Structure 1
Amino acid sequence: MSNTIQGFSKLSKEEKINWLTQSFLPHNPKAEAILKQYWNTDETLQQLHDEFIENTVTNYYLPLGIAPNFVINNKTFAIPMAIEESSVVAAASKAAKFWMSRGGFKAEILGTEKIGQVHFMYTGKESEVRALFDASKAELLADLKPLTASMEKRGGGITDLKLVNKTEALEHYYQLHVTFETLDAMGANFINTCLEQLSESWQRIFASQTSKPENGTLQVVMSILSNYVPGCVVRAEVNCAVSELSEADGIDPQEFAEKFVQAVRIAEVEPYRAVTHNKGIMNGIDAVVLATGNDFRAIEAGAHAYAAKDGRYSSLTHAEIKDDHFRFWIEIPLALGTVGGLTKLHPLVKLNLEMLGNPSAPQLMEIIAVAGLAQNFGAVKSLTTTGIQKGHMKMHLMNMLNQLEATKTEKEQAVSHFKTHKVSHNAVHQFIEALRHNTEK
């Protein structure tokens, strides 16, 4: 156990790096330099980044790209996307351009409700605990007033509180199920603070009863928000006459529309396809979620739970042809914030939100849902026409060249060559090897 350490968090950043490189990277003489080359030269900015998380040793960069030409509800946006995967920004941009001349994207909010729960075990009769809840509900809500007053002034707060019996799923298991409106805040800290106060009040009320329920004991297990928010949902869509799809890679518009709809229907009924289909949607969504300082892990978890809401994992997008019109849409839960957290701390996040017109949380929901729909349109369009690899591998070409440590001249020659040749790892490797062999002669 020679590589263990006590008090690591108390070390300076230099000391952390020194221990890390000696203990786990002893054979890499460049390790320290690599870690330090990503430090920001602006000490104030670097300190800000250091304080986002614990035990910081350096920064981990992701490219920030821009997908222009998004027309959403008749307003034009340039959407920032933070992601490392090739072709995502290009596909979103291409889809935006395609739909810009066909009426653009339409989006609407279907709900903004957030959820939190106090999970507890109760061993007595349901009728007794329900009677206690009904009698004390007003007191429970009153205890929360000091925490919710500010949010209520802005139009938010707690929208409902109910007792839920879950004993059929797990013996003695009940919930205090709470719904919230958190406006432009994602609301995690607000919700969790309210739930912990609710838990304390509930336990106090139960313990102070003058006549105890027969054989009934109560134990709070935990109090926590849920990242599954089926009441915080946005819909985004595109539609046009089938005849307007004529630019779809030269394919007959009717054939293209029919193949596209069939591809989406396959994702609706086949979970193996649905997972990859939805992963492509999340390529677009996560990239904007990251760029705007929101929690992409929460968004991912909630989206995939929503995809399985009917008892089988399915597509998040849907498509149809009706009355010679093609329609493609997404409904997805997105619990987002435009105030609090990184939105007020990270300089690039603030700039990205300004780029989007400083949207409210519902407006950001619409923008991000559109990004996901655009990404999915681009992917399904490629899959049903030219195939996914033709465009993706050409976008991936520069990564392959960098892996081969190609020079600037070699990159220029490779890019020119692969404009008319199929890109593959083997083909790129052979091309570079041939260039170098000819140069050596």
Structure 2
Amino acid sequence: MIKKILNLLKYWGKLKTRVNHIFTNLVSLQKKYMLPQNTGFSKLSKNEKINWITTTYFSNPIESEQLVKQYWNTDAAIQKLHDEFIENTLTNFYLPLGVAPNFVINKKAYTIPMVIEESSVVAAASKSAKFWLTRGGFKASVLGTEKIGHVHFTYLGEHKKLATWFSIKKEQFYSDVNYITKNMEKRGGGVLDIELINKTDKLEHYYQLHATFNTKDSMGANFINSCLEQFAKTLKHELADCDDFSAEEKDIQIIMCILSNFVPNCVVRAEVACKVEDLNEETNVDPLEFAEKFLKAVQIAEIEPYRAVTHNKGIMNGVDAVVLATGNDFRAVEAGAHAYASRNGSYSSLSHASIENGIFKFWLDIPLALGTVGGLTSLHPLVKFSLEMLGKPSAEELMQIVAVAGLAQNFAALRSLTTTGIQKGHMKMHINNILNQFKATKEEKEKVLSHFVDTTVSHSLVVDYLDVIRNNSDTTN
């Protein structure tokens, strides 16, 4: 027994030493990585923020600080504008702004701005635009512009009683947001409808005010959220004043008021069509065989989620690039598009194809809540540049342009996949990134590009051939 007690004491001593060691390390880490108590990072000046970041996390603070400041805009006013877009700004993170020419949409010519870091996207979109330029171009139409928002709340009484009360009081909800909606209504927008939705079968006591909106040329997030918050105030105030409800029934709880980025009734369609025999650009590809193989590829994406995700990602390469270039919210667009792709219970393709009576048709339906006024559209100089390049489009016209960019990208990807394979074009575009990564000279780049004109491209093969060039150069010297 004494031996067991001694062993326990010995174990406890080791455990106590280990705990003290861990605590000491935690204190040391806190001192190194945490700001001093009562110091708010946001209160520091920009230079103080950079200094703290670089001295805390980097082995060479001076070099790291120089890197950050290297990407500041030399125009102080423009840099200040960028600094104020978000919080705790250190510097600018650049992405390329490219253009895809040759687009004809509804018989109108466009050069489309695209902001993206991925090689081959702009080239593929341009190639698709050129292909369809001589085949009637793209057609696009807006199928709906309805946006949605909710007041989420709990109510402890009977649904029928609340529904009857709401139908009587509904006009009050409209009138109480007049001060918010009057300017939007002058432009033809405003609140379209408000419905009381019973969700108690999904979650106990849960209800919604489901409101629909038309926000015209603005994306409308702030407008919608302001209306929803007023609806919540009206709900509580009007119910509190109603003698027909008990104190418990009046005690509703507002959970939140927020727009939805799922906009299944704010949808645009982009499409192309031509005779099957006109799909004859590639001399070694039979047009009918190509059309049938293309159709089968789309059908696979319609029924196989593993393929559909990659298929739709290709569409979003084009969509996101234009959404970014025009100062819109690509995260909202992405979320809404993928929810729409799942609306029938299984994730599926956003694009579709058919061959009927010798006509090949390819189209895309996608929800897009976009704006051309407000937000970054009136602040970011390059967003203004992009919108002017597009002819200062309305929100509906921009929806059509963005959808066409997605369809063009999808067509290019499927054409490659069903003919030469995706890697041939993509990796050739990617060579420059590989060469830049290994700091290739102009002469080395020319030799590598010449070598891979008719040769399979991969990262390792490019690096190996670059090594051969350099080793030969060392031997010669």
Fold conserved between structures, TM > 0.5: yes
Task: Report what 2:13 is aligned to.
Answer: none
- The amino acid across from 2:430 in the alignment is H
Q: 2:34 aligns to what?
A: 4
Pick one of 210, 213, 222 that aligns with 1:177. Answer: 210
The Cα shift of 1:28 comes to 6.0
Aligned residue pairs total 441
2:454 to 406, 420, 429: 420
Q: State the match for 1:229 in structure 2.
A: 263
Question: Which letter maps to 2:309?
Answer: V
Matches within 5 A, 1:131-150: 131-150=164-183
- Aligned residues of 1:128 and 1:213 also touching (Cα < 8 A): no
Amino acid of the residue matched to residue 118 of structure 1? V
Deviation, 1:131, is 1.5
Shift of 1:74: 0.4
1:69 and 2:102 equivalent? yes
Distance 1:287 1:338 in 2: 16
Cα separation, 2, equivalents of 1:322 and 1:213: 64
**Partner amino acid, structure 2, of 1:346:** H
Distance 1:60 1:285 in 2: 21
The counterpart of 1:311, out of the listed 336, 345, 368, is 345
The TM-score, its normalising length taken from structure 2, stands at 0.91
Task: Give the C-alpha shift of residue 153 in structure 1.
Answer: 1.1
Q: CA RMSD in A?
A: 1.1
Matches within 5 A, 1:70-85: 70-85=103-118
Contact 1:303 1:333 in 2 (8 A): yes
The one of 132, 139, 143 aligned to 1:99: 132
Identify the residue that residue 295 of structure 1 maps to in structure 2.
329
Percent identity over paired residues: 62
SS at 1:99 equivalent: helix
Q: 1:166 aligned to 2:196?
A: no
Bigger Rg over Cα: 2
Is 1:148–1:157's contact at 8 Å kept on the other side of the alignment? yes
Deviation (angstroms), 1:312: 0.7
Task: Indicate conservation of the 8 Å contact 2:55/2:61, yes or no.
Answer: no
Partner of 2:14: none
The 3-state SS of whatever aligns with 2:339 is helix
More helix as a share of residues: 2
CA contact (8 A) 1:64 1:80 kept: yes
Which stretches of structure 1, 4 residues or longer, exceed 2 Å deviation after superposition? 26-30, 213-217
Per-residue CA shift, 1:287-310, capped at 9, x if unaligned?
000000000000000000000011
- Between stretches 413-422 and 358-367, larger displacement belongs to 413-422
C-alpha separation in 2, matches of 1:290 and 1:104: 24
- What is the Cα deviation at residue 78 of structure 1? 0.3
Q: Which stretches in structure 2 are left out of the alignment for 5+ residues?
A: 1-29
Find the aligned partners of 1:410 and 1:106 in 2 and give their Cα distance. Answer: 44
| Aligned-partner Cα distance in 2 for 1:37–1:47 | 15
1:211 Cα deviation from its structure 2 partner: 2.7
Give the aligned residue type for 1:357. G
Partner in structure 1 of residue 86 of structure 2: 53
Describe the SS at the equivalent of 1:386.
coil
Structure 1 residue 167 displacement after superposition: 1.1
**Match runs of 1:166-205 below 5 Å:** 166-205=199-238
Structure 2 match to 1:323 = 357
Distance, in Å, in 2 between the alignment partners of 1:29 and 1:267 is 51
Contact 2:341 2:348 in 1 (8 A): yes
Partner of 1:271: 305
Specify every segment of 5 or more residues in structure 1 that has no aligned partner in the other structure, as ranges. none
Q: Confirm or deny that 1:111 pairs with 2:141.
A: no
